[in-house]
């Protein structure tokens, strides 16, 4: 298959490119490097089935020849990134999704939207199941991301209903692994960086808020399987092992053999108090299940950040 991947130089986008190429597909990769990094796809330069175009996907784009699928993965995704780029975040979820859907329509290609657990906001239903409509503050600091993704989901369903496009919507929960940005503010790179540098680990609030962390290869596997299914409604993808942020800080201390201090900072506005995916639907529909343990995933991620620090030294 020939597949367009938007956000190809991003954390998850670049791993998706690797997977698609490994499966024998051709990839047309798009990214404007707003939050993605050239180094994430540098290893693919010169790969015969890989073509990169520096492109802002909020603008029209066309691809010569046949196209079988469009994976729309472009968006700032860390709270720090989308708070820095709120308008670009809203644009890529709205205008960008429209452009990518148009591309799929023109080529009669399938379309995969990578949406988010943020669609549920600060949830009142736990664990989050796809039928829950969410609890989103439409005017809070996180709304640029939450609402752009909710809009993207609505636009995707509208294209499916109006034009019959074969669409899929994934709701991605917290994901981690190599190629995350060290300074994107998210809890995994933030804690690892702090522990590597022997600095205090910064827990926001009292650390009782919960998250569930999925390793990137598991997530990409779920996305790939979903892209081959006929399910049009959203499907949660994430790991079900839930832990408090304080427990997570202690796990990092243990794994890295450091006893660096834990420092408490104010909780950001609208920070969801609990998050864990109900993945019953993905299990039944796709036969998918995360298989990488938190320890193994964190070890691989720590190694990546250690090498990055060595290269920078
Ligand atoms: N967090 C923290 N310290 C940090 C960064 C994040 O305690 O240095 C917390 C944050 O408040 C949130 C959780 O970790 O409750 C996950 O945050 P992240 O930014 O990774 O993503 P989110 O799940 O909020 O989108």
Ligand 1 proximity of 174 Cβ (cutoff 6 Å)? yes
pLDDT tens digit string along 103-129?
999 999 999 999 999 999 999 999 999
pLDDT band for 310, please (50, 70, 90 cuts).
Answer: confident
Atom of ligand 1 minimally distant from the CA of 268: 11
Structurally, the chain folds into a number of domains equal to: 1
Atom of ligand 1 minimally distant from the CA of 118: 25
Query: Region 238-264: what's the mean pLDDT?
Result: 94
What's 34's domain CATH number? 3.40.50.720
Tokens 């022997």 belong to 198
Q: What pLDDT was estimated at residue 308?
A: 83
pLDDT at 309 over 80: no
Q: What pLDDT was estimated at residue 194?
A: 94
Query: Region 65-79: what's the mean pLDDT?
Result: 97
For ligand 1, the distance from its centroid to the CA atom of residue 235, given in whole angstroms, is: 23
For ligand 1, the distance from its centroid to the CA atom of residue 49, given in whole angstroms, is: 37
Q: What pLDDT was estimated at residue 84?
A: 96
Query: Region 58-67: what's the mean pLDDT?
Result: 95
Please report whether residue 203 resides in a domain.
Answer: no
Mutate which of 77, 78, 211 for ligand 1 pocket (most atoms within 8 A of beta carbon): 211
What would the two tokens of residue 23 be? 């499966």
Please report whether residue 143 resides in a domain.
Answer: yes
Q: What's the rounded Cα separation, in Å, for the pair 87 and 82?
A: 8
Is 145 assigned a catalytic role?
A: yes
pLDDT band for 300, please (50, 70, 90 cuts).
Answer: very high
Please report whether residue 308 resides in a domain.
Answer: no
Query: Region 287-309: what's the mean pLDDT?
Result: 94
pLDDT tens digit string along 254-283?
998 888 899 999 999 999 999 999 999 999
Domain encompassing residue 31: 2-179+214-240+276-291
Per-residue three-class SS string for the chain:
CEEEEECCCCHHHHHHHHHHHHCCCEEEEEECCCCCCHHHCHHHCCCCCEEEEECCCCCCCCCCCCCCEEEECCCCCCHHHHHHCHHHHHHHHHHHHHHHHHHHHHHCCEEEEEEEHHHHECCCCCCECCCCCCECCCCCCCHHHHHHHHHHHHHHHHHHHHHCCCEEEEEECCEECCCCCCCCCCHHHHHHHHHHCCCCEEEECCCCCEEECEEHHHHHHHHHHHHCCCCCCCEEECCCCEEEHHHHHHHHHHHCCCCCCEEEECCCCCCCCCCCECCHHHHHHHCCCCCCCHHHHHHHHHHHHHHHHHHHC
Please report whether residue 186 resides in a domain.
Answer: no
The pTM of the full predicted model, rounded to 2 decimals, is 0.97
Ligand 1 proximity of 79 Cβ (cutoff 6 Å)? yes
Choose the catalytic residue: 145, 159, 215, 224.
Answer: 145
Mutate which of 123, 173, 245 for ligand 1 pocket (most atoms within 8 A of beta carbon): 245
Residue 93 burial (CB < 10 Å; 0-12/13-18/19+)? buried
Nearest CA to 216 out of 86, 94, 73 is that of: 73
Supply the residue whose CA is at minimum distance from atom 12 of ligand 1: 271
Supply the residue whose CA is at minimum distance from atom 13 of ligand 1: 187
Q: What's the rounded Cα separation, in Å, for the pair 160 and 157?
A: 5
pLDDT tens digit string along 154-175?
999 999 999 999 999 999 999 9
Please report whether residue 250 resides in a domain.
Answer: no
Please report whether residue 89 resides in a domain.
Answer: yes
For ligand 1, the distance from its centroid to the CA atom of residue 66, given in whole angstroms, is: 41
Q: What pLDDT was estimated at residue 104?
A: 98
Ligand 1 proximity of 187 Cβ (cutoff 6 Å)? yes
pLDDT at 313 over 80: no
Query: Region 74-99: what's the mean pLDDT?
Result: 97
pLDDT at 14 over 80: yes
Please report whether residue 163 resides in a domain.
Answer: yes
For ligand 1, the distance from its centroid to the CA atom of residue 258, given in whole angstroms, is: 21
pLDDT tens digit string along 178-229?
999 988 899 999 999 999 999 999 999 999 999 999 999 999 999 999 999 9
Please report whether residue 201 resides in a domain.
Answer: no
- Please say whether the beta carbons of 17 and 42 come within 8 A: no
Ligand 1 proximity of 103 Cβ (cutoff 6 Å)? no
């Amino acid at each position: 298959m020939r597949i367009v991947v938007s956000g190809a130089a991003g954390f998850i986008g670049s791993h998706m490119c690797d997977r698609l190429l490994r499966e024998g597909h051709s990839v047309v990769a798009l990214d404007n490097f707003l939050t993605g990094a050239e180094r994430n796809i540098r290893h693919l330069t010169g790969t015969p089935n890989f073509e990169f175009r520096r492109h802002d996907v909020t603008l029209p784009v066309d691809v010569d020849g046949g196209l079988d699928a469009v994976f729309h993965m472009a968006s700032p995704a860390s709270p720090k990134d989308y708070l820095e780029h709120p308008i670009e975040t809203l644009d890529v979820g709205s205008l960008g999704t429209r452009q990518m859907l148009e591309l799929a329509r023109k080529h009669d290609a399938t379309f995969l939207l990578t949406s988010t657990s943020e669609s549920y906001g600060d949830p009142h239903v736990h664990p989050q199941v796809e039928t829950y409509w969410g609890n989103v503050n439409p005017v809070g600091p996180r709304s640029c991301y939450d609402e752009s993704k909710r809009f993207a989901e609505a636009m995707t369903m509208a294209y499916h209903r109006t034009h019959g496009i074969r669409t899929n919507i994934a709701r991605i929960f917290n994901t981690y692994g190599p190629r995350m940005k060290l300074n994107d503010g998210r809890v995994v790179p933030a804690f690892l960086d702090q522990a590597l540098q022997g600095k205090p680990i910064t827990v926001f609030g009292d650390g009782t808020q919960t998250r569930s962390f999925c390793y990137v290869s598991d997530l990409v596997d779920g996305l790939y399987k979903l892209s081959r299914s006929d399910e049009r409604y959203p499907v949660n993808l994430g790991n079900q092992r839930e832990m408090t942020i304080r427990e997570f800080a202690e796990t990092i201390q243990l794994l890295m053999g450091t006893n660096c201090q834990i420092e408490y900072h104010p909780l950001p506005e609208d920070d969801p108090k609990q998050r864990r995916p109900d993945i019953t639907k993905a299990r039944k529909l796709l036969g998918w299940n995360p298989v990488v343990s938190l320890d193994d995933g964190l070890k691989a991620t720590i190694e990546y950040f250690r090498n990055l620090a060595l290269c920078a030294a």
